[in-house]
């Protein structure tokens, strides 16, 4: 039974590592099409090499008693080898991945995948043909599949168990760094168990015990000191300010960090960052006032085109600043947020009050598809990784959104435009116009900013003339910029719409343009942030 238990654990480790690798790499490389191509390509190549290498080793060792003992030795050693490789990768990636991402995001993601996955997955995959060879030799010339079907069945069921245990047991409760070390420890322990109670005669039991014991000790020590090892990177300096981690919130959708600046010596004032998977989502002063321009822009645009707002739906909670501002004006506000970590962080650290704005913890797409009422204003502030997920920028999504608006209602979008690669934004505009044809575009004048906040106001009916809006609580550093932006909406000319493709659920020809834009943005982010910010 121990032979099958080992292959079950190795199968669990394969999918656990792949899932954790995607989470580890997101803050550095984003979640674009090219990044996932790197992860999946390296995974499949490593598995293929492992199956081939295991088959070659099995053929060389032979089927004699001594050969079977050597096969069993190799089989029991592979998990310990994988454990050593995983721990070594954890030691280097917090410092190496920012360098790789800064050099070349696509090639860097392939290199990062190699570092995290190649050795462990090759070792785990090699165990399948090794076990088949052991079973064949012990079966006295058995024909048929020689137990291969059972081996791959057990390994695959282990993979299912591994991904479930990682997604629901590890990720919501411990850091990705610690979760990866836990996988290493699990692998080392099965090698140690094989050395303690060999499931088959071994060629060198003592050597296996030393290797497995070393891997177990190495992984256990690193897991024990995981927080201390990462903690050495803090405090981190960014923007002439020293930052520390005040809290972390983990869920299936990512890691939310609350970063806090050191207080000013005289006033004691400080700043908090709502930081998720490599991106600053909001900046808030210690008195609860937002320091992020976009929160005031969304509020001002909503009132400019709908001065009397009775009801509003906010898609995407973040720190909860926008819904709380609307609720403060007497608007009946509802919020849709997919990530429970966001709701917990907003309530605990940013003053969000769920009694004043009802929160629905679900996907924005499914909520709009079944919404039972219409809203005067819908604020769309949906981001994951480097941009809005693909299925939330399709014509089908915008159709559902239009159905949830009052006939004269408006939708206000927080978006990003890559001014050097306008094609990606043209796809968004072309798609949005199919369902909400009346658009107004606003963009702050930030010289030298190639990837700029861009705000869209959209409606099914003709938009009214915007009314002057004066928010007297805007921070001085944003007040003039906001006033200037509100006075100069941009015309949707041919240059903005040229080459725009309509994106639907069934057809997305814009995916490569969008991925290129996201990669450019992620590279700029990684190059501007300290390495400590990016470690989950």
What is the C-alpha to C-alpha distance for residues 421 and 182, in angstroms, rounded to an integer?
A: 42
Task: Report cis status (omega within 30 of 0) of the bond before 235.
Answer: yes
Report the candidate in 56, 118, 48, 110 with the shortest Cα–Cα distance to residue 82.
118
- DSSP assignment, residue 167? I
In Å, the largest CA–CA distance within the chain is 88
Q: How many CB atoms lie within 10 A of CB 141?
A: 8
Q: Which long-range contacts (CB under 8 A, 24 or more apart) does 279-284 make?
A: 279/383, 279/385, 279/386, 279/525, 281/318, 281/319, 281/383, 282/318, 282/319, 282/321, 282/350, 284/319, 284/321, 284/350
- Paired tokens of 227: 């927080």
Contact of 426 with 387, CB cutoff 8 Å: no
Contact of 426 with 379, CB cutoff 8 Å: no
What region, left, alpha or beta, does residue 318 occupy, with left being phi > 0 and alpha being psi -120 to 50 degrees? left
Strand ranges across the sheet with 438-442: 357-361, 332-337, 311-315, 375-380, 405-418, 451-459, 438-442
Active site residue 408: no
Contact of 285 with 264, CB cutoff 8 Å: no
C-alpha distances in Å from residue 90, one per residue of 180, 224, 331, 511 = 8, 13, 48, 32
- Paired tokens of 135: 């079973």
> Alpha-carbon torsion 219, 224, 227, 229, what sign?
negative
Terminal C-alpha separation, the chain: 37
* Rounded (10°) angle between helices 2-29 and 148-165: 40
Contact of 179 with 20, CB cutoff 8 Å: yes
Q: Indicate which residue of 381, 400, 418, 513 is catalytic.
A: 381
What residues act catalytically?
Answer: 381
């Amino acid at each position: 039974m121990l032979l099958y238990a080992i292959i079950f654990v190795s199968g669990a480790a394969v999918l656990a590592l792949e899932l954790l690798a995607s989470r580890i790499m997101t803050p550095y490389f984003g979640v674009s099409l090219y990044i996932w191509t790197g992860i999946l390509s390296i995974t499949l190549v490593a598995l293929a090499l492992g199956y081939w290498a295991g088959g070659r080793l099995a053929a060389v060792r032979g089927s004699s008693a001594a050969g079977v003992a050597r096969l069993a030795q190799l089989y029991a050693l592979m998990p310990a080898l994988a454990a050593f490789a995983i721990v070594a990768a954890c030691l280097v990636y917090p410092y190496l991945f920012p360098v790789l991402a800064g050099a070349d995001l696509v090639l860097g993601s392939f290199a990062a995948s190699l570092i995290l996955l190649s050795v462990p997955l090759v070792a785990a995959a090699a165990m399948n043909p090794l076990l088949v060879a052991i079973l064949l030799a012990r079966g006295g010339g058995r024909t048929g599949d020689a137990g291969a079907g059972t081996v791959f069945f057990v390994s695959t069921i282990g993979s299912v168990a591994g991904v479930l245990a990682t997604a629901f047991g590890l990720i919501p409760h411990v850091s990705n760094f610690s979760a990866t070390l836990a996988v290493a420890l699990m692998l080392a322990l099965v090698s140690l168990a094989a050395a303690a109670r060999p499931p088959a005669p071994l060629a060198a039991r003592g050597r296996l015990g030393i290797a497995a014991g070393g891997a177990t000790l190495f992984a256990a020590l690193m897991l024990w000191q995981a927080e201390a090892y990462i903690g050495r990177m803090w405090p981190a300096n960014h923007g002439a300010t020293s930052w520390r981690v005040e809290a972390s919130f983990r869920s299936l959708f990512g890691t939310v960090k609350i970063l806090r600046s050191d207080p000013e010596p005289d006033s004691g004032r400080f700043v908090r960052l709502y930081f998720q998977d490599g991106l600053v989502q909001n900046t808030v002063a210690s008195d609860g006032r937002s320091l992020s321009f976009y929160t005031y822009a969304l509020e001002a645009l909503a009132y400019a085109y709908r001065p009397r707002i009775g009801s509003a739906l906010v898609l995407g909670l973040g720190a909860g600043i926008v819904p709380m501002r609307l609720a403060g004006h007497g608007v009946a506000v509802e919020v849709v947020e997919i990530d429970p970590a966001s709701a917990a962080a907003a309530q605990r650290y940013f003053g969000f009050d769920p009694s004043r704005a009802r929160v629905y913890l679900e996907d924005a797409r499914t909520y709009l598809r079944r919404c039972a009422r219409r809203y005067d204003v819908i604020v769309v502030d949906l981001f994951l990784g480097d941009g809005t997920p693909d299925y939330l920028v399709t014509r089908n999504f915008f159709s559902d959104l239009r159905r949830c608006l009052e006939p004269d209602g408006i939708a206000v979008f927080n978006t990003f435009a890559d001014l050097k690669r306008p094609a990606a934004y043209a796809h968004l505009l072309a798609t949005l116009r199919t369902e909400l044809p009346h658009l107004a575009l606003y963009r702050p004048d930030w010289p030298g900013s190639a990837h700029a906040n861009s705000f869209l106001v959209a409606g099914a009916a003709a938009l009214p003339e915007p009314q002057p809006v004066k928010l007297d609580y805007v921070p001085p550093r944003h007040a003039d910029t906001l006033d200037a932006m509100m006075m100069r909406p941009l015309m949707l000319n041919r240059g903005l719409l040229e080459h725009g493709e309509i994106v639907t659920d069934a057809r997305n020809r814009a995916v490569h343009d969008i991925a290129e834009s996201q990669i450019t943005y992620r590279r700029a982010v990684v190059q501007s942030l300290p390495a400590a910010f990016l470690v989950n």
